[in-house]
Amino acid sequence: MTEPDLPVAVTQLMKGVVYRDTHDRAWNQLLQLQPQVRDHVAVLGLQVVVDEAEGYAFLRQRPPDEDPERQLPRLIPRHALSFPVSLLLALLRKKLAEFDAQGGDSRLMLSRGQIAEMIRVFMPATSNEARLIDRIDEHIGKAEQLGFLRQAKNGEQVYEVRRLLKAFVDAQWLADFDAKLAEYAAALAGGRDEGAEGEGG
């Protein structure tokens, strides 16, 4: 058994999400040292979120302190997502829920074409097909940059939907988004496409 090594666990967490399948050593150290890791990062105003069942862990900013004198600078940045990216994450989350309900393989793999078709039906109609494809690729790239998609190592345009998405898109978020999506679909059906590229909250 490897001796517990707190710096290994904390350093990997500070760099980003720790995955059981890609950060084997840091993951094992984290599981052995959870109380110490929590105490260590708490000094920085952070919390550790560990999902052993899904195999990932990450740091989250602690809720703001009511005393402004004790308020620490934010270490974990917030990401302002455009509506299409929020839409893509919601669609991927639903796909993951459907996939889990079927059982079987634990990894959901989707081709770029499958992902593009999921979001295309919600995009404003355009005669410029090349521009539409470029925009969809930008949204897929953003989801990959945020860590919710991971491209397969074989070079093909196939992506794994990372289970980390479940921690950021919960049932309530999906329910709220469904209501917004219905309004958006109605607007598209009426020929209005304003706000398609606006910033989401």
What pLDDT does 62 receive?
A: 78
- The architecture of the domain spanning 83-189 is Orthogonal Bundle (1.10)
- Within the chain, all domains assigned CATH 1.10.10 are found at 6-68, 83-189
Residue 81 sits at the vertex; the CA angle it makes with 66 and 148, to the nearest 5 degrees, is 100
DSSP secondary-structure letter at 68? Answer: G
Which residues of the chain fall below pLDDT 50?
Answer: 1, 192-201
Sign of the torsion formed by the C-alpha atoms of 76, 12, 162 and 2: negative
Residue 148 near residue 161, CB atoms below 8 Å: yes
120-140 confidence digits (pLDDT tens): 887 777 778 888 888 889 999
What's the rounded Cα separation, in Å, for the pair 141 and 136? Answer: 9
Distances (CA, A) of 50 to 19, 24, 28, 139, 190: 10, 14, 12, 27, 44
What CATH number has the domain spanning 6-68? Answer: 1.10.10
What pLDDT does 33 receive?
A: 92
Residue 163 near residue 22, CB atoms below 8 Å: no
**Token pair for residue 12?**
């990997």
What pLDDT does 167 receive?
A: 83
**Amino acid (1-letter code) at residue 153:** K
Sign of the torsion formed by the C-alpha atoms of 118, 119, 122 and 125: negative
* Number of residues assigned to the chain: 201
**Token pair for residue 109?**
């793999």
> Which SS3 state, helix, strand or coil, does residue 196 take?
coil
